[in-house]
Structure 1
């Protein structure tokens, strides 16, 4: 709040400077805080108990809530449909935010909406009252929002385990929702993959259809070109190549047969020239020759036997010789026939070789022509093979995605379903009590602080000196705060007379002592004023005058508040000529004075205000009055009007020796007091100090931190 305390003025006394310098104790703030709490203790207690009861009533009467928690392992594997050389389902992601992504999926409206539909929460008693009159999809939307607000997804540390907690009045509902959130998460993941598969299937299907058309066109072109150029093949070779290979094999066989026939013929001829028919190897293979040779061998053996026994002209020998000759002739004839056969065979083989060579040459020419066409055929074939390979790869990818993407993801699973909660988690009574105590303390403290911050009243002597920059002279007690038994009927102005040794009278004597300046002689004039009416200045003026008179001083009490005439009213004085008439010069001072029998002081009442009262407090009039009083009185006390509102009071106060400013304790706002001082100082009026009136001494002892009279009870033996 604004600090309306006034800064020290050049007219301030050294004493006030010392007062300001003494403030700086670091513990002062703490002591002031404690004092404020003591001051406002009942307000603080009421606020504390009120907030405490409200919080406890609200917290402890709330519906019991049960929390169920399910735990699951999550992963962040995504369906790979773009990289053809990678697996469709890659390994788990190692990124730091991978699990965070899955946690956000668990918190997504899609998961919550699936749970609402699966458990039919829109008709559940825990949800239905809050959905109001919403219908259809609006009810589901509202229920989804309520569910999202109550779900808590927690991830302990950096693990891949998340906890799904849900709180509800029904423990069965809490368990069902916690488990269903996990199931819906898996369903959303599966649905996401199915959608990806369907999207990929549509894209790959379109691409496969295009490739199929291109592949069929390429295969047709290959077939047409092959048919056009007769480039049919079998087992990787064209028919021409296969024919050429066969013809070359036949040519080789013919050449081998020719070589064999020529070898046999050459051998047979050579043997025939050297040794006759018996040495021909080819002839020996003839069965006829073999039979003839066997017969000749027998005939030769018989001839040799006969030749050893008979003479050359023996008939048996001649017959045996003729038989040998016949056999040799037969063998020679057969040998000649065999040589002719070998010669014919060699010629046949030679003709076959020539024929095979011609066929091979012709086929080779045809193959050379086919090779030129095969180059173009190979290009067409490679194009068709490329389309075929791409088609087969995309078809295999589509099949792989369709199969793997729908396989259950075993590393994303609920490994710990929620247990049925048997004990309510809310309201937490110990926690509510602690919160209630803490909140009540905070609210009570804050309330006291706010009230104190907005309270502009001056309570202690330290407040007065700090805020106003004036010395605090005394605390004049509220009579009720120091009354003893039997004193209830005594008025404040009579109390110092009835109890001259009381604390009330002692404070008045302290004020009188402050007015008696060291080294001053003669009469002292004092003006007593206040910021507002009913501050207790008139009571103070009367009581101070009586105490001073009882102490032996010659005292004149002047009722200078001519508009209200408070002194005359409080003392019960009759209507009498007074200050107004004296200042006008119509009555002499001696004639206007009234003697106070109780104390011996003289009272100058206000008098009759009939007529114009302006300029009564002019310098000439007041000087004349003081001149008349100087020889008769030691102390003249003016009960002036409130200085903030009445200009006559300020005019009067400029002409007196000292000014006392009266503030009602714990009542006068400091900004009002500050405004009064501002107007006084504008006229070079510097009050001697401040007197606090109607001070509750018991309350001051309880919370008046920084007040000089806080411990007045310790001196009770000095007051009677």
Structure 2
């Protein structure tokens, strides 16, 4: 032997991997998510583009709709017909639901039907298409329902402002309907008032008719009695009483006027005797002329004072203002003298009027005494008529108040902002649709990747292998195309280690060899079986390549094709044997007669000359032990290319008799359930593989999205490969 083989004195009892308890690493989770996205970028792209296309086509090709909005201010009033000491229409209701009630009225079918009728919407093309299957009597109601479905009445916040928005394909129609709904709401409110007034008017009218008849009878009785006793009167008094009352009022007023005139005159004369110029006399103070002149003088005095502070005496402007002040003072004095003369004249007139009024009162008092006796009965009749008249007048006033305040009083709702003609469509909202499309496409794409990952049971990374299978991951054997340079892609996999012994491919095989040799527990050759869960995993290619790498390293290496049902080693190496493993085990053929030398590497090959349909316990313990005896002392490393352990029981029989077993899985190809099933069957026979080798690994893809794999950063140490 030319290589140094480390020897472990104590055998390794268990090689299973005990997974570490999961730790929460959000960054690691994000890396895994990004790795999954990179691995399935085509699925994410297809789903993203597909969903985005569907959303955009569905949203952007919809019929353009226009929304027109009218604004109203509303409040809620209740008709007061019972309480006589209050207004018919009280103040605004303070209830929080008052405006909400008005909103519900706007949404009512009565308003909708009124709008349909006013705009003749049943014949509008936008409505007619939906109504053509209905009978004519039902079309108006159906049109109202259609209108209500596109009508939006909102009350923003707690205000009394209500917005009426209608959406239609025709902007002019949307504006017309929004405005008309407000008008119809006002009409419905008006009709409600009319109905209330009519109900009240009918009841009050019957009562007024009854009182009118009684009042007419009472007034006729009063008129007859007056005619019989010559007691003509107005407003419940006789003419004589009225005359006397009037004359006494005139006498009293004349005396009061006389006293007032004398007092004013005496006061004015006393002020003049004391040296007053008359400016403080009451008549002068109350004279509008004097007040106006004094206001003008005050303004001129201010102007004069201002000019005096700026100019010297004799300045033209100062002289002009002084002349104006003198003129106004003369006018004020003249007006005061006129007022005093007027006081004297008024006092004389008052004395004459007082004397005349006293004589008239004395004459009329005599006539009144004769009429008082007949007035007793007349007063009784008059009180009855007055009572009926008051009652009649009260009810008549109430009736008129209800009519005027309910129908003519101030409005309790009005449109303060008619709808503007919408120039831009409110739907479809292109930016919103694009955002929704992008968000939905991203969600669906991410969900598709997540679902694909959740249902993907393939083994991709070394972390997947160790966590799902519970075995150490030994090595990643690259696919030649993923590491080839230039024309190296044309080199066959079994020849690549020979042609490029310093390549990553050869290094991965040396890692498998090292893992096998470090477990040597006896003096004979190390026997290692290579198996897989199913055909096509790349175990034969790896076995041939491993044998060649081991032989080039100086180990005496033997590759045995133990897949007797589907032998492939000889055909892959390009020769046709006459005898082989079957003849050695069954017919005791000498080993030398069946061995074939691989000239390219120096490894020895024990092929299968002809495939067997059934091995019939070819690998029983006696035969295998006899084979091991023949190999002892001649080889250092013996590789068995066994059949898939899941499908062939003879393979499991062979593997349990070997030193080590390597499980081969195809990278991103072998389902984890299949690999786990093969392990389950091997472990049932106490076969515990020393580890797993992943084959045909796309190293470029592994570097891109193989998060958690030991060789993800292989490019960083690529300087060691050539």
Q: Structure 2-normalised TM-score?
A: 0.67
Q: Is the 8 A contact 2:75 2:98 kept in 1?
A: yes
1:405-451 CA distances to partner (integer Å, 9 max, x unpaired)?
A: 54576121111111122333344444344333333333322222222
Question: 1:674–1:190: structure 2 CA closer, same or farther, 3 Å change rule?
Answer: farther
Question: How do residues 491-502 of structure 1 correspond to structure 2 at under 5 angstroms?
Answer: 491-502=492-503
CA 1:184–1:698: 2 relative to 1, 3 Å: same
Moved more, 403-412 or 104-113: 403-412
Distance across 1 between alignment mates of 2:580 and 2:409? 113
Aligned counterpart in structure 1 of residue 706 of structure 2, from 704, 707, 718: 704
1:81-134 superposed Cα distances (whole Å, 9 cap, x missing partner) = 677876654433222222223223323333333323322223323334455634
Distance 2:399 2:656 in 1: 109
Distance 1:427 1:589, change over 3 A: same
Measured in 2, the distance between the counterparts of 1:604 and 1:579 equals 6
Relative distance call for 1:519 and 1:599 in structure 2 (3 A) is: closer
- Aligned position for 1:539: 541
Offset from partner CA, 1:254-283 (integer Å, 9 cap, x none): xxxxxxxxxxxxxxxxxxxxxxxxxxxxxx
Superposed CA deviations along residues 133-183 of structure 1, whole A, max 9, x for unmatched, are 344355445443433332222222210101112222322112111111212
Identify the residue that residue 637 of structure 1 maps to in structure 2: 639
Write out aligned runs for 1:237-636 (5 A).
405-407=406-408, 410-517=411-518, 520-521=521-522, 522-609=524-611, 613-636=615-638
Whether the 8 Å contact between 1:79 and 1:405 is mirrored in structure 2 is yes
* Contact 1:576/1:605 (<8 A) preserved: no
C-alpha contact 2:561 2:608 (8 A) present in aligned 1: yes
Q: Does 1:168 align with 2:168?
A: yes
Aligned to 1:662: 664
User: Equivalent residue of 2:454, what SS?
Assistant: helix
What pairs with 1:204-243 in structure 2 (closer than 5 Å)?
none
Show the counterpart of 2:319.
none
Matches within 5 A, 1:192-203: 192-194=192-194
2:332 corresponds in structure 1 to none
Task: Report how many aligned residue pairs link the two structures.
Answer: 550
- Mapped to 1, the partners of 2:37 and 2:91 lie a distance apart of 67
In 2, Cα distance between equivalents of 1:610 and 1:710: 42
Asked whether the 8 Å contact 1:559–1:579 carries over to 2, the reply is: yes
Q: SS state of the match for residue 494, structure 2?
A: coil
Contact 1:20–1:466 (8 Å) recurs in 2: no
CA 505–100 in structure 1, closer or farther in 2 if over 3 Å, else same: same
Give the match's secondary structure for 2:91: coil
Contact 2:15 2:472 in 1 (8 A): no
Helix, strand or coil at the partner of 2:695: strand
Partner SS for 1:511: helix
Q: Secondary structure at the match of 1:421?
A: coil
**Alpha-carbon distance in structure 2 between the residues aligned to 1:623 and 1:110:** 102
Change (3 A) 1:598 1:23: farther
The residue that corresponds to 1:74 in the other structure is: 74
- The CA distance in 2 between the partners of 1:617 and 1:82, in whole Å, is 115
1:577, distance to aligned residue in structure 2 (A): 2.8
C-alpha displacement of 1:394: 9.5
Larger Rg, first or second structure (1 or 2) = 1
Answer whether contact 1:561 1:640 (CA < 8 A) is retained.
Answer: yes
CA contact (8 A) 1:20 1:465 kept: no
Q: Residues of 2 paired with 1:58 and 1:569: CA distance?
A: 59
Are the counterparts in 2 of residues 555 and 635 from structure 1 also a CA contact under 8 Å? yes
* Counterpart secondary structure, 2:125: coil
Distance 2:561 2:478 in 1: 23
Q: Distance in 2 between matches of 1:198 and 1:668?
A: 91
Q: Could you tell me how far apart the structure 2 residues matched to 1:588 and 1:198 are? A: 129
SS at 1:488's partner residue?
A: helix
CA distance in 1, matches of 2:81, 2:411: 20
SS at match of 1:691: strand
Unaligned 5+ residue runs, structure 2?
A: 1-11, 223-383
What residue is the counterpart of 2:281 in the other structure? none
- The separation in 2 between residues aligned to 1:426 and 1:634, in whole angstroms, is 81
Whether the aligned pair in 1 keeps the contact of 2:497 and 2:549 (CA below 8 Å) is yes
> 3-state SS of the aligned residue for 2:490?
coil
SS class of match (1:513): helix
Deviation of residue 193 (structure 1)?
Answer: 4.6
Which range moved further: 48-57 or 146-155? 48-57
**Is residue 208–residue 396 contact of structure 2 (8 Å, CA) maintained in 1?**
no
Following the alignment from structure 1 to structure 2, what is the Cα–Cα distance between the partners of residues 81 and 569? Answer: 113
- Structure 1 pair 397/476, CA: closer, same or farther in 2 (3 Å)? farther
Q: The residue matched to 2:474 in structure 1 has which SS? A: strand
Query: Which residue matches 1:351?
Result: none
Checking the alignment, whether the CA contact within 8 Å between 1:81 and 1:401 is kept in structure 2 is yes
The CA deviation string for residues 176-195 of structure 1, in whole angstroms up to 9 with x for no partner, is: 11111212222333344555
SS in 2 for 1:27: helix
Structure 2 CA distance for partners of 1:212 and 1:454, relative to 1, 3 Å:
same
Distance change >3 Å, CA 147–CA 685, structure 1 → 2: farther
Deviations 1:566-624 (A, max 9, x none): 32332333253333333334534333322222222222223445575222233333233
C-alpha deviation, 1:657, in angstroms: 1.7
Q: Which residue of 1 aligns with 2:190?
A: 190
**Separation in structure 2 between the aligned mates of residue 715 and residue 132 of structure 1, nearest angstrom:** 79
More displaced stretch, 651-660 vs 154-163: 651-660
**1-structure distance, mates of 2:56, 2:399:** 64
CA distance in 1, matches of 2:138, 2:200: 34
Q: In the TM superposition, what whole-angstrom CA distance separates every residue of 1:628-650 from its partner, at most 9, and x where no partner exists?
A: 22332222222222222222222
Once the two structures are superposed, residues 212-265 of structure 1 have per-residue CA deviations (whole angstroms, 9 ceiling, x without a partner) of: 99x99xx9xxx9xxxxxxxxx988xxxxxxxxxxxxxxxxxxxxxxxxxxxxxx
- Please say which of residues 431-440 and 188-197 is displaced more in the overlay: 188-197
Higher mean displacement: 634-643 or 701-710: 634-643
5+ residue gaps, structure 1, are: 1-9, 224-232, 236-380
In structure 1, C-alpha distance between the alignment counterparts of 2:200 and 2:586, rounded to whole Å: 116
The answer to whether the Cα contact below 8 Å between 1:78 and 1:89 also exists between their aligned partners in 2 is yes
In the superposition, the TM-score normalised over structure 1's length comes to 0.67
2:189 is paired with a residue whose SS is helix
Helix, strand or coil at the partner of 1:76:
coil
CA offset at residue 79 of structure 1? 4.0
How far is the alpha carbon of 1:28 from its aligned partner? 0.9
3-state SS of paired residue (1:67): strand
Q: Who is 1:103 aligned against?
A: 103
Q: Is the 8 A contact 2:528 2:658 kept in 1?
A: yes
1:648 aligns to what?
650
Pick closer, same or farther for the CA change 1:614–1:149 going to 2, 3 Å: farther
SS of aligned partner of 1:153: strand
Counterpart in 2 of 1:680? Answer: 682
Question: Aligned partners of 2:76, 2:683: CA distance in 1, in Å?
Answer: 81
Q: Which residue of 2 aligns with 1:179?
A: 179
Deviation at 1:565, TM superposition (A): 1.4
Distance in 2 of aligned mates of 1:167 and 1:598: 84
